[in-house]
């Protein structure tokens, strides 16, 4: 059975040894981009492994392109995180201080002393944050990480697809996505074709490399989506079996995948590398942070869809209230004119009826005005929330070694 369905089986000890001794190690853009999220010590440990296997490294052109394209965004996000965390700390401190005021008359709790301790703790953390910010390298001025990556990967980048091959790949990718054939189908909603079918391009270029090298392929990626990984009940079982079967059928070579933390962990065993467990733990934590970001962004996307519908509904309600208010205003104006006639020509009974109708219409006018103002307030809130979500989706969420350190400090 294993010969026919090898993708569903974990490699044996001997097969793992073959992978690590003779395989081509293929790096994804996510692995290279995460180098900017690691502490200096962890980054050096990771690069040490890459240098050790440099002769067997290879990067698909599409992955190298995605690294170069997204590098500045990742650098900017790490730099922006300091200000965002400081803002979060300030808001949290102010909220705690305001909440503590309600306990000001407690007979035993010295609220002032508690508030002073909170201020000292937050001041300490802010000072540490400022110290880290001062020491944060300016990769926009000089990107030493890219310099190192460029040196290690010199001569190890695949060739790009020409326009004709890209068009062919896009067409085949569309067919694969319709059938949920991995990888990449979870990117089907991306608007730009190069991004939408980026994973398919990478996969096809990996297959091309496998055909050429005729050696086992080890793909290291920090893309954790299920269009790369076989998942069951929230657990990651391993590489998608379809990928193993496809590359075996087309290139006749074994295929296996690692996340960066797994890659480092197994490098200790199979490459006899001395790696600090703290580095592996940090890389794993950064990966978990990214998974939480993806989950949060997915939740935000669903929230955005709901908000867009809510925005349209609120706009209709505001419009309806304004139309009703306009009609009521005209009615009130007509009633003022009618009152003048009633004062001169009619009796007390008709005048009292007029007063009753006027009061009722005026009350409805005020209700509509209040409802309109509240709906406008809700609409403005929805607009702000939409802008916030779009900004998060555009720039991603923060993360990295400095946010881990600050969380530990808190």
Strand order in the sheet with 217-220: 57-58, 24-27, 217-220, 255-258
Q: Residue 137 has what pLDDT?
A: 74
**What is the rounded distance in angstroms from the CA atom of residue 2 to the CA atom of residue 241?**
12
Q: Are 74 and 31 a contacting pair, CB within 8 Å?
A: no
206 or 102: whose pLDDT is higher? 206
**What is the rounded distance in angstroms from the CA atom of residue 68 to the CA atom of residue 194?**
14
Q: Are 202 and 173 a contacting pair, CB within 8 Å?
A: no
Question: How many other CB atoms are there within 10 angstroms of residue 159's CB atom?
Answer: 9
* DSSP 8-class letter at 136: S
The answer on pLDDT for 365 being more than 80 is no
Q: Are 230 and 236 a contacting pair, CB within 8 Å?
A: yes
84 or 166: whose pLDDT is higher? 166
User: What pLDDT, in 10s, does the model give residues 388-408?
Assistant: 666 655 554 444 444 444 334
Which range among 63-67, 79-83, 185-189, 308-312 has the greatest average pLDDT?
63-67
Q: Residue 317 has what pLDDT?
A: 80
Q: Residue 341 has what pLDDT?
A: 61
Ordered by start, the domain boundaries in the chain are 6-275, 298-409
334 or 149: whose pLDDT is higher? 149
Q: Residue 46 has what pLDDT?
A: 95
Select from 66, 49, 53, 25 the least CA-distant residue to 210.
25
**What is the rounded distance in angstroms from the CA atom of residue 256 to the CA atom of residue 241?**
10
User: What pLDDT, in 10s, does the model give residues 60-72?
Assistant: 999 999 999 999 9
Q: Of 12-26, 38-52, 131-145, which gets the smallest average pLDDT?
A: 131-145
Summarize the confidence of residues 198-202 as an average pLDDT.
Answer: 97
Summarize the confidence of residues 231-259 as an average pLDDT.
Answer: 94
Taking every pair of Cα atoms in the chain, the longest distance, rounded to a whole number of angstroms, is: 109
Helices (H), 136-257: 144-152, 163-178, 193-196, 198-213, 241-251
Q: Residue 41 has what pLDDT?
A: 93
Q: How confident is the model at residue 377 (pLDDT cuts 50, 70, 90)?
A: confident
What DSSP letter does each residue of 73-101 carry, written as one string?
HHHHHHHHHHHHHHHHHHHHHHHHHHHHG
Mean pLDDT of all residues belonging to the chain: 84
Q: How confident is the model at residue 143 (pLDDT cuts 50, 70, 90)?
A: very high
| pLDDT more than 70, % of the chain | 85
């Amino acid at each position: 059975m294993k010969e026919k369905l090898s993708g569903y089986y974990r490699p044996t000890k001997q097969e793992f040894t073959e992978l690590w001794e003779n395989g081509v190690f293929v790096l994804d853009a996510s692995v290279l981009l995460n180098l900017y999220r690691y502490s200096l010590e962890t980054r050096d440990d990771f690069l040490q492994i890459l240098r050790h296997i440099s002769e067997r490294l290879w990067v698909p052109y599409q992955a190298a392109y995605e690294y170069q394209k997204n590098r500045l965004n990742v650098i900017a996000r790490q730099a922006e995180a300091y200000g965002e965390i400081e803002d979060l700390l300030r808001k949290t401190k102010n909220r705690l201080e305001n909440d503590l005021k309600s306990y000001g008359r407690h007979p035993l709790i010295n609220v002032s002393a508690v508030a002073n301790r909170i201020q000292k703790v937050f001041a300490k953390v802010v000072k540490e944050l400022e110290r880290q910010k001062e020491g944060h390298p300016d990769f926009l001025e000089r990107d030493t990480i890219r310099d190192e990556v460029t040196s290690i990967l010199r001569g190890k980048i695949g060739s790009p697809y020409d326009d004709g091959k890209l068009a062919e790949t896009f067409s085949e990718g569309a067919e694969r996505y319709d059938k949920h054939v991995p990888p990449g189908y979870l990117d089907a909603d991306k608007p730009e074709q190069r991004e939408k079918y980026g994973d398919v391009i990478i996969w096809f270029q990996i297959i091309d490399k496998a055909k050429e090298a005729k050696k086992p392929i080890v793909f290291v990626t920090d893309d954790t989506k299920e269009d790369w990984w076989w998942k069951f009940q929230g657990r990651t079982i391993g590489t998608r079996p379809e990928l193993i079967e496809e590359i075996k059928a087309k290139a006749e070579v074994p295929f296996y995948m690692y996340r960066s933390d797994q890659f480092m962990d197994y490098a200790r065993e199979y490459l006899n590398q001395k790696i600090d467990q703290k580095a592996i733990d940090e890389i794993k934590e950064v990966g978990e942070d990214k998974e939480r970001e993806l989950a949060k962004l997915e939740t935000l996307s669903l929230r955005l869809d709901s908000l867009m519908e809510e925005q349209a509904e609120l706009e209709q309600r505001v419009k309806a209230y304004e139309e009703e208010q306009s009609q009521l205003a005209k009615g009130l104006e007509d009633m003022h004119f009618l009152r003048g006639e009633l004062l001169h020509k009619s009796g007390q009974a008709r005048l009292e009826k007029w007063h009753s109708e006027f009061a009722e219409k005026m009350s409805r006018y005020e209700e509509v005005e209040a409802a309109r103002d509240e709906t406008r307030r809700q609409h403005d809130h929805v607009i702000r929330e939409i802008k916030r979500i779009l900004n998060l989706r555009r720039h991603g969420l923060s993360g990295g070694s400095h946010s881990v350190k600050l969380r530990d400090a808190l």
